Structure 1
Amino acid sequence: MTSRKKRTARVGLFIFFLLSCLGGLVAFVVLVDIPSRVADRFGPPAEELSLPERLYYAWALFLHERQLHAPSEVEDGEVIFTIGTDEPTSAIIQRLKQSGLIQDEEAFRILLVYSGLDRGIQAGQYELSPAMDSIQVARALQKGGRLEITVTILSGWRAEEIARVLRLSGLLESESQFLEIVRQPPQWEVLKSLDDPPGLEGFLMPGSYTFRRGTSAEQIIAQMVERFARTLTPEIREGFARQGLTLYQGVILASIVEREGVVKEEYPLIASVFLNRLRTGMKLDSDPTVQYALGYDAQLNTWWKNPLKSEDLKINSPYNTYINTGLPPTPICNPGLEALQAVANPAQTSYYYFRARCDQSGRHVFSETYEQHLSQACHE
């Protein structure tokens, strides 16, 4: 009898062990495995969902995955789908179904709730296709409702600043690809008319541009360079030559004038100072060239550190015009039309120095001698 009780106890323990393992396995699948798989396939759940909601919608997506991956139609074709301001999500889903853009309304609703899109689909126009599956449709809605995006590139921005604005506007996913093309440009036909510059810093024409969403970094840069080529008229090219500058040297000097000047009517005067210095072999002593050499200042959150410290002026860089004579090796920013024209048609002066006025107007005072220059210093 005792032996039988022992066997019964062992069997009971074994069954308990099996049930515990089975329970642990079920718990693992429910709490970890399925949510992890769903996150890999559909992305992380919306932050505002509670833990029970995350588990519920993860399982719901897992069970509806087949419907979400199936496009409504096999044939491709563009559909412009317009979403109105404050249009309810339920109405949007219903119209997507009626337009033949999704296959299963409930599965699509679950996907939107899981990803957090159910609360914030932007009004606007979306370029969709019946050949897209529901996941692709949801991702298209996630990008926002503007098919075209207008950005404004300011004169004096360096390539990194342009790349950042393009990314923040939603045109670029990554700034690095844009900068890689700027530094190692393709062999475009337009660049032959610009004497094949080694890089495109300086040749990205400032101004307002409208690009369709999805335009590649290469296409964006090509439009900027083509506009620059149109802006660089024969008169500007001839003006560079009259100053003894090649096209590339003219753009380099224009980039310095752009960063030095505040009031555009002073650009020809500033250009005359630097041209006078170049002709006599004087160093340019330009702060913006040092700022370019220093690069991004994380503490000040700027690419153009200001004010500069005395040790900054000693940085060992070919861009430092306080220690090197002549022009820096490349443009330091992308100049606008006024700076290009100022270098091509500078004021005729005997000035070799300029400094900011003391009235905070952004204007400068110009001097012929160093002694005059020193006497124009501001005194507190």
Structure 2
Amino acid sequence: MYLKKILWAVAILGLLICGFIVYQIYSAIFSPNTQFGNDEAYIYITSDASMADVKKSLEPLLKDVLTFESVADRKGYSNNIKAGKYAITKGMNNNEIINTLRSQNIPIKVSFNNQERLETLAGRISLQIEADSISLLKAFSDDAFLKTSGFDDDTKLCMYLPNTYEFFWNTNAQDFRDRMLKEYKRYWNENRLEKAKQLNMSPAEVMSLAAVVQKETAKADEKPRVAGVYLNRVKQRIPLQADPTVIFAIKKETGNYDTIIKRVLYRDLEMESPYNTYKYAGVPPGPITMPDISSIEAVLNPEKHDYLYFVADVSNFGYHIFAKTLAQHNRNKVQYIKWLNAKKVYR
């Protein structure tokens, strides 16, 4: 009888211990384990992250990091960490957190505008995805890639169309570059290639001219007219005589792309550079900036007219006055020169 009581006591104790263990395991897996006030919190896990790195990222967000680590070990996550951006929802348990980190990498929006150089583009993109600016610039400038893709040192900027794209945060430099090439090829469909052909221009030449249009006017409704002026000049083999190309030539020659030049001087027009469109007819050998879609479309769909000249309209800033003859242009230019002098803009 006494032995039976002992056995019953041991059995009950064992059940209690097992129940406690089961409860602890269940609690570790399925009890809420977040401690932040917002509805969601985001973490970024790098491609080379260790479990220690993941814990460090999650520590401010969790009530108990140790139970998270224990469940992560049991579910095999500790040895199979996935890079990316993840959303942790308020009230999640460890099981839900780990499942999220395994399979719910969130796409992000990556945007860039009119960058003058690949260096500045690399810097802009590195602020938005995991890849750093050095690896991005190296991928952008890779000689083998440029050769197989049909670009060179002058035209490599053509490949990047300013827009907003969807990427995973952990995208590497090569994958970003390759995606941009796909977007470039998608843009240059049969219809646009045919329009370029009708202009007797290659896509790269269209984009080089579009870059000049981009620099000349920020007004979308004026871009087709400005494009028409330059295309008239190209057809008549008249040099473009575009001041932005001279400014770019100066920056390229000096290596100082932060230089601010508000007024091109006569001596600048003598500068020896293939980008100096006062000395060399035709479009520049490459884009002087990254043209946006509206500028490219302006070149592909220009306004039909006989204008060959234009100058800034000081009575309607942002727009220009157009002329068909040099005599008309010189008369129009007087108001602009007076305005520059009055503002003491000498460089």
Query: Could you tell me which residue of structure 1 aligns to residue 151 of structure 2?
Result: 197
AA paired with 2:119? E
How many pairs align?
Answer: 260
Query: Structure 2 length normalisation: TM-score?
Result: 0.63
Name the SS for the 1:362 alignment partner.
coil
Q: Distance in 2 between matches of 1:215 and 1:101?
A: 29
The 3 A distance-change label for structure 1 pair 219 and 317 is: same
- Structure 2 unaligned spans of 5+: 1-49, 84-100, 340-347
Q: CA deviation at 1:165?
A: 1.0
1:291 pairs with 2:239 = no
Alignment partner of 1:182 is 2:140 = yes
CA shift, 1:169, in A, is: 3.4
Q: What is the identity, as a one-letter code, of the residue corresponding to 2:240? A: L
- Find 1:168's aligned residue among 127, 132, 151: 127
Partner letter of residue 220 of structure 1? Answer: F
TM-score, normalising length from structure 1?
0.58
Alpha-carbon distance in 2 for matches of 1:148, 1:204: 20
- Where does residue 130 of structure 1 map in the other structure? 78
After the TM superposition, list the runs of 4 or more consecutive aligned residues in structure 1 that deviate by more than 6 angstroms: 79-82, 296-301
CA deviation digits over 1:333-357, x for unaligned, max 9?
2222222222222111111111111
CA distance in structure 2 between the partners assigned to 1:304 and 1:229 by the alignment: 34
SS in 2 for 1:256: helix
Displacement of 1:72 in angstroms is 6.8
Q: Select the residue among 103, 114, 117 that pairs with 1:158.
A: 117
Change (3 A) 1:217 1:101: farther
Work out the CA distance in 2 between the residues paired with 1:368 and 1:310. Answer: 23
- CA shift digits 1:216-266 (9 cap, x unpaired): 112112222212221223222111111121232222212222222211111
Rate the CA distance shift 1:181–1:304 in 2: closer, same or farther, 3 A. farther
> Matched residues in 2 for 1:359 and 1:233: separation?
40
Instruction: Find the counterpart in structure 2 of residue 12 from structure 1.
Output: none
Matches within 5 A, 1:272-283: 272-283=228-239
Structure 2 residue matching 1:366: 3-state secondary structure? strand
Which residue number corresponds to residue 227 of structure 2? 271
Name the residue aligned to 1:361.
317
Q: Give yes or no for the alignment of 1:238 onto 2:194.
A: yes
Q: What is the Cα deviation at residue 131 of structure 1? A: 3.5
**Root mean square deviation of aligned Cα:** 3.9
Quote how far apart the aligned CAs of 1:98 are: 1.6
- Report the CA distance shift for 1:227/1:72 in structure 2 as closer, same or farther (over 3 A): closer
Residues 299-378 of structure 1: matches in 2 within 5 Å?
302=258, 305-359=261-315, 361-377=317-333, 378=335
Structure 1: tracts of 5 or more residues without a match: 1-70, 74-78, 104-127, 137-144
Whether contact under 8 Å (2:308, 2:324) holds in the other structure is: yes
**DSSP 3-state at the match of 1:376:** helix
- In the alignment, the residues of structure 1 paired with residue 193 and residue 270 of structure 2 have an alpha-carbon distance, to the nearest angstrom, of 34
TM-aligned CA deviation for residue 102 of structure 1: 11
Amino acid at match of 2:110: V
Q: Contact 2:115–2:121 at 8 Å: present in 1 too?
A: no
